[in-house]
Amino acid sequence: MKKAFSRLLVFLLVCSFGAGAARADEITDWTRQLYDSALVANTSPLVITRSAAIMQASVFDAVNGIERKYTPIHVEPNAPAGASRRAAAVQAAYAILVKVYPAQVSALNNKRTTSLNGIASGDAAEHSTSINDGLEWGQTVADAIWASRATDGFTTVFPPFVGGNAPGQWRPTPPGNLPGAGVQFATMTPWVMASPSQFLPAGPPALSSADYLADFNEVKLMGRVDSFARNAEQTLYASFWALSSANFFWNQVAIALAEERHLTFSEKSRLFAALNLAMADAAIGCWNAKQTFVFWRPVTAIPLAAGDGNPFTLEDPLWTPLITTPNHPEYLSGHSCISGAGGRVLASRFGDNSQFQVASDHPSLAGVVRVFSSFSSALEEVKNARIFGGIHFRTACDEGQELGIAVADHVLANALLPVHGQQLGHLNE
């Protein structure tokens, strides 16, 4: 009976999320389009943080350039009087996505046409002059923000990064043994942070320490592919959080809660901008830490434990993690950094004890929904998922989440502020 009720709950939650799509505004609609396009292009979880920030910054500055309520991200308000906010948001989002995903221009053109038809017809139809002014302003904003990020360091080419072979140092991991990914993110220009290293943590525990031993033994037991200590639920959510990007998950939650709480068009543009700027800067801060400390992964540390200088860490040459290890250093956990930032921004707007659900966009997890009674509980599951998946030590997850939260607090205190100058540190004003 309990299992049947759980299935019914999942069905109702999925239906509820789908029903919301029919009532979506242009900001919600194009946020969904971003992730549809990213899925088609198989965009990496790291790269999507940058793309989402560029798009949502463009949408925000386009809308805010008409409303003039908040400090801009990059483009000073200069829209023609009476310009359509809705058209400006559509054009800003469209203009960025056709640059990020030029191979999808036909689908994006169709999406734009549908959006503009909706603005020009129905009960909320807007005048053609207003729409045209909005389109021109949205394009102006998108062009300016795209140009500003063209020199952010994303396209910088580095030599293949292979770490080192000393105990504790990251090196390419099986099965692919690939060079480190995303090296350029460590030095990219942040959106709001003063520098990529602004929130750099102290570093992983020493190999000889009790903290490292505790981390080592936990992931060795719980993260191995055939662990007897990990239960079915833990195995499920380890895969759940691994098979989609943190950026997708938290934007999905933002869409659902924004619709549930009836946020205005203006409030949505600001929420999605704050959310994605925070996650983008958290990713930059995280990769800066990865490239600073270059710490090894469990898949390396456990088989080579005999040479780590700690007599209490016992090697297991055949140890294999549940989840394939990503090709970049262990400390900090990227998912924990980005989720810490995303969860903090949303908790600031909706309250930590908000109830919400998260669905996966991965085909193998179709219909799987995680349900939470608070952002804190969701973030705790994210940390556990990385350890139970066998790809991170707990310190990297704890301190990664702390970095993400610190970045989010910094964004909320220093960006998108009301023009009257109150630094409220939250999104409720």
Would you say residue 286 lies in a domain? yes
Distance CA 182, CA 184 (A): 5
Give pLDDT, residue 115: 96
Confidence of residue 6 (pLDDT cuts 50, 70, 90): very low
Confidence of residue 123 (pLDDT cuts 50, 70, 90): confident
Amino acid symbol at 213: L
Give pLDDT, residue 14: 38
List, as one string, the DSSP characters of 195-212. STTTT----SPPTTSHHH
Range of the domain at 400: 183-414
- We report the CATH number of the domain holding residue 61 as 1.20.144.10
HSE-CB of 32 using CA atoms within 13 angstroms:
16
Question: What does the pLDDT average to over 5-18?
Answer: 37
Q: CA 407 → CA 138, 165, 276, 421, distances in Å?
A: 28, 32, 11, 21
Whether residues 205 and 328 share a domain: the answer is yes
Strand 356-359 relative to strand 369-372, pairing: antiparallel
Question: What does the pLDDT average to over 246-272?
Answer: 97
Q: Which of 385, 286, 358 is nearest to 329 (CA)?
A: 286
Of the given ranges (18-27, 112-121, 188-197, 341-350), which has the lowest mean pLDDT?
18-27
Distance from chain centroid for Cα 250: 6
Residue 159 has pLDDT above 50, yes or no: yes
Distance CA 374, CA 110 (A): 38
Give pLDDT, residue 367: 87
Would you say residue 420 lies in a domain? no
Residue 424 has pLDDT above 60, yes or no: no
The total of structural domains in the chain comes to 2
Whether residues 116 and 195 share a domain: the answer is no
Question: What does the pLDDT average to over 208-236?
Answer: 98
- We report the CATH number of the domain holding residue 191 as 1.10.606.20
Tokens at 239, concatenated: 């895969």
Whether residues 364 and 294 share a domain: the answer is yes
Confidence of residue 122 (pLDDT cuts 50, 70, 90): confident
Give pLDDT, residue 426: 54
Whether residues 128 and 45 share a domain: the answer is yes
CB 404 within 8 A of CB 333: no
Give pLDDT, residue 24: 73
Distance from chain centroid for Cα 421: 28
Would you say residue 167 lies in a domain? no
Confidence of residue 1 (pLDDT cuts 50, 70, 90): very low
**What percentage of the chain carries pLDDT values higher than 70?**
93
| Digit-coded pLDDT (tens) for 268-312 | 999 999 999 999 999 999 999 999 999 999 999 999 999 999 999
The pLDDT mean for the chain works out to 93
Whether residues 191 and 87 share a domain: the answer is no
Give pLDDT, residue 428: 57
Whether residues 204 and 143 share a domain: the answer is no
Amino acid symbol at 363: P
Would you give the end-to-end CA distance of the chain in angstroms? 45
Would you say residue 384 lies in a domain? yes
Give the 3-state secondary structure of 327-386. CCCCCCCHHHHHHHHHHHHHHHHHCCCCCEEEECCCHHHCCCEEEECCHHHHHHHHHHHH
Tokens at 415, concatenated: 């960006």
Q: What is the CA radius of gyration of the chain?
A: 22
